[in-house]
Amino acid sequence: MSDAVSPLAIPFPTMPAIDGVVPRVARAGYKDWGRCDLTYVELAEGTTVAGVFTRNVCCSSEVELGRLNVAQGQARALVVNAGNSNAFTGYRGREAVEQIMDQVAGHLGCLREQVFVCSTGVIGVPLPKDKAREGVANALGAPECDWEEAARTISTTDTFAKGATATAMVGGTKVTISAIIKGSGMIAPDMATMLGYLFTDAAVAPAFLQQCLSAANTRTFSCITVDSDTSTSDTVLAFATGKAGNAPLTSFDDPGADAFAAAIHEVCRQLAHLVVRDGEGASKFIAVTVTGAVSDESAHRVGMAIANSPLVKTAIAGEDANWGRVVMAVGKAGEPADRDRLSIGFGGTWAARDGLPLADYDEAPVAAHLKGQEITIEVDLGLGSGRAQVWTCDLTHGYISINADYRS
């Protein structure tokens, strides 16, 4: 955790404990810092799991093994290492992950495939096995902690702890989701860079849990970007203990399935926004809405081109209604667009319509909007009914300061 808190930070919410989920933290000492850096979450027998992972082809062993483990659908524990991503460390990195899986599985008397390991931090340094072994041993005997402490312990360059919660009625039973996430840089489309964990007491079949998580991912985590860079370790896992006692959800035909999926979506949306709000150096939260595209997918790509444009992001940092840079970003997206049908607005005020600056354009309300922390950019392509919304932050001196000397 960094000292200077993001100006866009949101206080950690009051988050209920989840029956069947026990988080604990310990100090493994992966870096020379005076804080806990290993999070261990024990999950009740019968817990199901789903996951989405980075598409970076140079992914870590944690991601490779996590993908395999999700396939069998059951989970008993989660271990998160902070300070060392263990990515690009070859067979030695993989051995460290397998050691943790074996150690926890031996303790719980479960299959090692039911132990999920994630690591975040610097790339290229094998996770030290001795520190991992001692850290895990400490964590197994540590007292239960609260969500905020767990959220703080999985963090690296984050400036505030991030959590979200929601409930849903499933066939007369109230089920609860509590979730934590870390991430503030190396954030990009196709699974934003981060580690996120959703825990619910609902009873959910693994395949349906995966269906809900994947659908939510498409419209939340895959719609945020801080710097267009995609981590080698990004992972979001959802765990369902079944302790709420509802009839297990297996498809959208089951009572309450829609409500549960909506709650998963809502939690993912909140988590995704929190990551953007902690974007490295961020001073403004930017929502980009694209309408009138030839398809939703096309709208998404146009939105991401805008959200990833350094020139758009620096203009917002400078509180400059430079819609010309938005036009540029639309044009470079490689998607169908017609300069003479394009409309651009900020904060609900059109600056240009149908390819021309508005004759009576009053920049005053736009200038006032851009002085705020919550910015909206509206783009209408005027071609079809495709639409999408994506979220990003501005690009400031803070981003440069954080990233020009992160490793040293």
Which structure tokens are listed for 206? Answer: 């693994």
Give dist(CA 309, CA 227) in Å, integer.
Answer: 9
Q: Minimum CB separation from a second copy for residue 397, in Å?
A: 5
- What DSSP assignment string belongs to 162-201? EEEEEEEEETTEEEEEEEEEE--SS--SSS-SSEEEEEE-
**Pairing, β 224-225 against β 349-353:** unpaired
Burial class from Cβ neighbours inside 10 Å (0-12, 13-18, 19+) for residue 379 reads buried
Choose the binding region for a second copy from 12-20, 157-165, 169-177, 228-236 (rule: CB under 8 A).
228-236
List residues bridging with 170 in a β-sheet. 173
Q: Which residues of 20-51 are buried (b: 16+ CB within 10 A; e: fewer)?
A: bbbbbbbbbbbeeeeebbbbbbbbbeebbbbb
Of 217, 309, 349, 392, which one interacts with a second copy (CB under 8 A)? 309
Q: Select 245 or 357, whichever has its Cβ closest to a second copy.
A: 357
Give dist(CA 72, CA 358) in Å, integer.
Answer: 57
Q: Select 259 or 367, whichever has its Cβ closest to a second copy.
A: 367
Of 65, 87, 161, 194, which one interacts with a second copy (CB under 8 A)? 87
List residues bridging with 224 in a β-sheet. 391
Residue 372 near a second copy by CB under 8 A: no
Choose the binding region for a second copy from 35-43, 157-165, 353-361, 369-377 (rule: CB under 8 A).
353-361
Choose the binding region for a second copy from 20-28, 156-164, 258-266, 309-317 (rule: CB under 8 A).
309-317
DSSP 3-state percent helix, strand, coil across the chain (nearest 5): 35, 25, 40
Residue 82 near a second copy by CB under 8 A: no
Residues 153-212 that bind a second copy (CB under 8 A): 185-186, 188
Of 252, 311, 372, 385, which one interacts with a second copy (CB under 8 A)? 311
Residues 89-148 that bind a second copy (CB under 8 A): 89-90, 92, 122-125
Of 79, 342, 375, 390, which one interacts with a second copy (CB under 8 A)? 342
Q: Minimum CB separation from a second copy for residue 210, in Å?
A: 24
193 belongs to the catalytic site: yes
> With contact defined as beta carbons under 8 Å apart, do 285 and 383 qualify?
no
Choose the binding region for a second copy from 74-82, 144-152, 293-301, 318-326 (rule: CB under 8 A).
318-326
Residue 362 near a second copy by CB under 8 A: no
Active-site pick, 159, 165, 193, 396? 193
Q: How many Å is the maximal CA-CA distance in the chain?
A: 72
Which structure tokens are listed for 224? Answer: 């945020």
Q: Minimum CB separation from a second copy for residue 164, in Å?
A: 27
Q: Select 331 or 347, whichever has its Cβ closest to a second copy.
A: 331
Give dist(CA 375, CA 316) in Å, integer.
Answer: 8
Q: Select 160 or 399, whichever has its Cβ closest to a second copy.
A: 399
Residues 19-78 that bind a second copy (CB under 8 A): 55-59
List residues bridging with 370 in a β-sheet. none
Q: Minimum CB separation from a second copy for residue 21, in Å?
A: 31
> With contact defined as beta carbons under 8 Å apart, do 81 and 119 qualify?
yes
Output the CA–CA distances (angstroms, integers) from residue 160 to 28, 149, 392, 405, in the order listed.
Answer: 21, 11, 17, 20
- What DSSP assignment string belongs to 48-76? EEEEEE---TT--HHHHHHHHHHHT-B-S
Choose the binding region for a second copy from 25-33, 38-46, 68-76, 303-311 (rule: CB under 8 A).
303-311
Residues identified as active-site: 193
Interface residues toward a second copy, by CB under 8 A: 55-59, 85, 87-90, 92, 122-125, 185-186, 188, 227-232, 308-311, 314-315, 317-318, 320, 322-325, 327-332, 334, 336-340, 342, 352, 355-357, 395-397, 399-401, 403-408
